[in-house]
Amino acid sequence: MRILVVEDEKKVASFIKRGLEEESFTVDVAYDGEEGRYMAETNQYDLILMDVMLPKKDGLTVVRELREKGIAVPVLCLTAKDTVDDIVSGLDSGSDDYLTKPFAFAELLARVRALLRRGTQDRGAEINFADLRLDPVAHKVWRGNKEIDLTAKEYALLEYFMRNANQTLTRTMIAEHVWDYTFDSFTNIIDVYVNYLRKKIDKDFDKKLIHTVRGAGYVLKEE
């Protein structure tokens, strides 16, 4: 899952980005309101963390403008303001939740997961495909009765495959959903990680699930 963090305090942005990436999220960062709006309009995100006090354009204005354009991605506002009027203003702008600074990362993560579960799909539910099972909350994966040990990036890649099973995923699609905004699409890192994943998911099993679609990309399917 891909998250946009719009936060002008670089230390705070770095702290949030690092923590979310450790939880296997793909994270992009914008440092002002105009950049945040542009990135939200031009990329597909599962969630936006929006600071309220931003240079160039404040966070609540950005949220209103995104909603006016029909962009319904969940938004969690972050701010040092904690009066009832401030909270009401944030929610009235179209935000889905409101977290005051300073905050514990554990609370931020809990709110992120709660917002992601509010979607049309229950993202907290286990995902099953063939004999693969993935638990998005515990970040654990099994094939049959065997638990598979994955790195954070391998886990994010497999989750994207499992949420889009039987669909051909191009390298561009994988880059946009599993790697961040600064990813160099001209490297072979995607092929390298798919190979890592194959060794863990398919190597010791007769039925292979990750397949190459020549000239297109990859697909998770049963044959």
Q: Is the Cβ–Cβ distance between 31 and 51 less than 8 Å? A: no
Q: State mean pLDDT over 95-124.
A: 77
Indicate whether 113 pLDDT > 60. yes
pTM (predicted TM-score)? 0.61
Q: Is the Cβ–Cβ distance between 9 and 53 less than 8 Å? A: no
pLDDT (tens digit per residue) in 9-60: 999 999 999 999 888 888 999 999 999 999 999 888 989 999 988 999 998 8
Q: Given 1.10.10.350, 1.10.10.60, 1.10.10.10, 3.40.1160.10, which CATH number is that of 127-220? A: 1.10.10.10
Cα 146 to Cα 197: distance, rounded to the nearest angstrom? 15
Q: Which helix H or strand E contains 47, and what residues bound it?
A: strand 47-51
Residue 167: partners with Cβ closer than 8 Å, 6 or more residues away? 219
pLDDT (tens digit per residue) in 144-179: 989 999 988 899 899 889 988 999 998 888 887 787
Indicate whether 130 pLDDT > 60. yes
Angle (CA) 96 122 155, round 5°: 100
Q: What is the dotted CATH code of the domain comprising 2-117? A: 3.40.50.2300
Q: Phi and psi of 95, rounded to 5°?
A: -70, 155
pLDDT (tens digit per residue) in 55-92: 999 988 999 999 888 888 899 988 876 655 666 665 66
Indicate whether 120 pLDDT > 50. no
pLDDT (tens digit per residue) in 178-222: 876 666 666 788 899 999 999 999 988 889 999 999 888 999 998
Cα 216 to Cα 214: distance, rounded to the nearest angstrom? 5
Indicate whether 141 pLDDT > 50. yes
Q: How far is CA 73 from CA 15, 47, 109, 112, 119, in A?
A: 22, 6, 17, 12, 9
Q: State mean pLDDT over 102-119.
A: 82
Q: How far is CA 11 from CA 17, 18, 99, 109, in A?
A: 10, 11, 18, 18
- CA 119, distance to chain mean position in Å, is 13
Where are the chain's structural domains? 2-117, 127-220
The CA-based diameter of the chain, rounded to the nearest angstrom, is: 60
pLDDT of residue 85: 64
Name the β-bridge partners of 222: none
pLDDT of residue 183: 66
pLDDT of residue 90: 59
